[in-house]
């Protein structure tokens, strides 16, 4: 075991990083390669704000890691500089603030209006937001990132409110920018919200391997000392990310992790082996983190799938999972939830990417879902065993 001094000392003498910050996910670089088209279009749409006229609402589509958030922040920052305080923007992430109430509360907080984090009626929060806006006397651009999280759970009442808010405002104006990685998102919306929100649409295509390489190359020059990357490292990282729908965030994640691993090992260079290790570790940590934070019955359901898989069952169905689940539950002395609920839980696990579920008709033998584990058996095992109850349940099941 290295002493604290040794750890710090080694970190300071690291010859790998020049500026590690440049690889962190919230860093927005001064240059966004291969997004000129999107930057130009967004700037064109927002430009009217400079002369005090309300820009059209914008809707931005694109898979994760295609630069949607980065481009939006980039353009808005420039806009605010040029506009000299006449234009402001709020950025609200709807994955963290995933209810109608929380989004409005976040907006209120930005406006300097006091709103408790629970307890009020929605209408009351809307009133306060309105009052806060009038007091501001500004052009405000509201960015709702990962907006699909909001609508799928809560419906579009907040969106409806926001999209018609200008009718109730005299001294201020509001424009909306909605960002989503769900391409079918618009279908969920009320027609009126749809037409209002989709005044302008912007699509962010995924990066291909060559573009990713280019981006990584530029970023690596800022973040690393010269010559620390073994040849082929960037190509490998780009290739992995390109396979994952051209996800640039993932690419930067892997690169950072690989460098961290190399650093920790005291290696003077980042090698291809480090990249592979980083990819595995990221994948594993992701699933373990998800599993750790799941509620008990979801964990038990996943455990049921895990057990059936380990027993070598060929086609796992909803009914089988429910039976195994009930078995596990009674073993810990808890009341089982209904099959209806487990049916939903299975869908949740599917969406989290931990399992793979698809509806299949087996004719005479009914219509059900066929489920398979899609996360690695090992990470599931590890994720579940962090839970004390799960540990005992799985412990005496062989």
Partner DNA sequence: AATCCACAGGAAGTGCTGGGCG
Partner DNA sequence: CGCCCAGCACTTCCTGTGGATT
Q: With respect to DNA, which residue has the nearer C-beta, 170 or 365?
A: 365
Least distance in angstroms from the C-beta of 39 to DNA = 34
Q: With respect to DNA, which residue has the nearer C-beta, 98 or 285?
A: 98
Q: With respect to DNA, which residue has the nearer C-beta, 17 or 110?
A: 110
Q: With respect to DNA, which residue has the nearer C-beta, 12 or 363?
A: 363
Least distance in angstroms from the C-beta of 99 to DNA = 3
CA atoms within 13 A on the CB side of 178: 30
C-alpha distances in angstroms, 11 versus 27, 201, 263? 22, 46, 8
- CB neighbour list of residue 189: distance below 8 Å, 6 or more residues apart: 151, 156, 159, 197
Least distance in angstroms from the C-beta of 102 to DNA = 6
Contact 15, 225 (CB under 8 A): yes
How far apart CA 380 and CA 230 sit, in angstroms, is 33
Q: With respect to DNA, which residue has the nearer C-beta, 14 or 368?
A: 368
Least distance in angstroms from the C-beta of 31 to DNA = 38
Least distance in angstroms from the C-beta of 318 to DNA = 4
- 299-308: buried (b, 16+ CB within 10 Å) or exposed (e) per residue? bbbbbbbbbb
Least distance in angstroms from the C-beta of 139 to DNA = 27
Tokens of 100: 């109608």
Residue (of 225, 353, 372, 249) closest to 308 by Cα position: 372
Tokens of 228: 């620390």
Least distance in angstroms from the C-beta of 343 to DNA = 4
Rg (CA), the chain: 25
Q: With respect to DNA, which residue has the nearer C-beta, 120 or 239?
A: 120
Q: What residues line the site for DNA (CB under 7 A)?
A: 98-102, 116-124, 153-154, 295-298, 317-320, 335-341, 343-347, 359, 361-369
Least distance in angstroms from the C-beta of 220 to DNA = 40
How far apart CA 285 and CA 41 sit, in angstroms, is 37
- CB neighbour list of residue 76: distance below 8 Å, 6 or more residues apart: 46, 89, 141, 143
Q: With respect to DNA, which residue has the nearer C-beta, 39 or 120?
A: 120
Q: With respect to DNA, which residue has the nearer C-beta, 158 or 229?
A: 158
Contact 206, 46 (CB under 8 A): no
Contact 255, 236 (CB under 8 A): no
């Amino acid at each position: 075991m290295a002493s604290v001094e040794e750890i710090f000392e080694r970190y300071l003498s690291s010859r790998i990083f020049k500026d590690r910050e440049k690889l962190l996910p919230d860093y927005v670089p001064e240059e966004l390669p291969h997004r000129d088209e999107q930057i130009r279009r967004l700037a064109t749409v927002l430009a009217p704000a400079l002369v005090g006229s309300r820009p059209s609402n914008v809707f931005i589509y694109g898979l994760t890691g295609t630069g949607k958030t980065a481009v939006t922040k980039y353009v808005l920052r420039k806009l605010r500089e040029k506009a000299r305080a006449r234009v402001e923007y709020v950025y609200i992430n709807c994955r963290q603030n995933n209810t109608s109430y929380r989004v409005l509360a976040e907006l209120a907080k930005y406006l300097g209006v006091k709103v408790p984090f629970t307890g009020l009626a929605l209408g009351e929060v809307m009133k306060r937001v309105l009052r806060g806006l009038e007091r501001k006397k500004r052009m405000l651009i509201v960015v709702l990132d990962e907006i699909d999280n909001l609508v799928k759970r809560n419906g579009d009442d907040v969106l409806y409110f926001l999209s018609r808010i200008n009718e109730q405002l005299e001294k201020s104006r509001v424009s909306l920018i909605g960002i989503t990685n769900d391409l079918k998102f618009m279908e969920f919306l009320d027609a009126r919200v749809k037409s209002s929100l989709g005044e302008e649409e912007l699509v962010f295509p995924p990066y291909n391997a060559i573009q990713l390489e280019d981006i990584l190359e530029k970023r690596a020059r800022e973040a690393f000392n010269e010559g620390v990357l073994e040849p082929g490292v960037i190509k490998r990282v780009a290739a992995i990310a390109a396979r994952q729908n051209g996800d640039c965030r993932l690419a930067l994640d892997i690169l950072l992790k690989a460098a961290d691993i190399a650093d920790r090992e005291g290696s003077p260079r980042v090698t291809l082996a480090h990249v592979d290790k980083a990819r595995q570790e990221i994948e594993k940590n992701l699933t373990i983190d998800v599993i750790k934070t799941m509620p008990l019955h979801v964990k038990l359901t996943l455990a049921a799938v895990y057990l059936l898989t380990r027993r070598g069952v060929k086609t796992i169905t909803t009914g089988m999972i429910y039976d195994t689940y009930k078995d596990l539950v009674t073993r810990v002395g808890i009341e089982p939830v209904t099959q209806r609920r487990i049916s939903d839980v299975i869908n949740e696990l599917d969406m989290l990417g931990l399992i793979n579920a698809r509806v299949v008709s087996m004719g005479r033998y009914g219509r059900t879902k066929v489920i398979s584990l899609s996360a690695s058996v090992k990470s599931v095992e590890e994720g579940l065993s962090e839970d004390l109850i799960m540990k005992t349940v799985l412990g005496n099941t062989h």
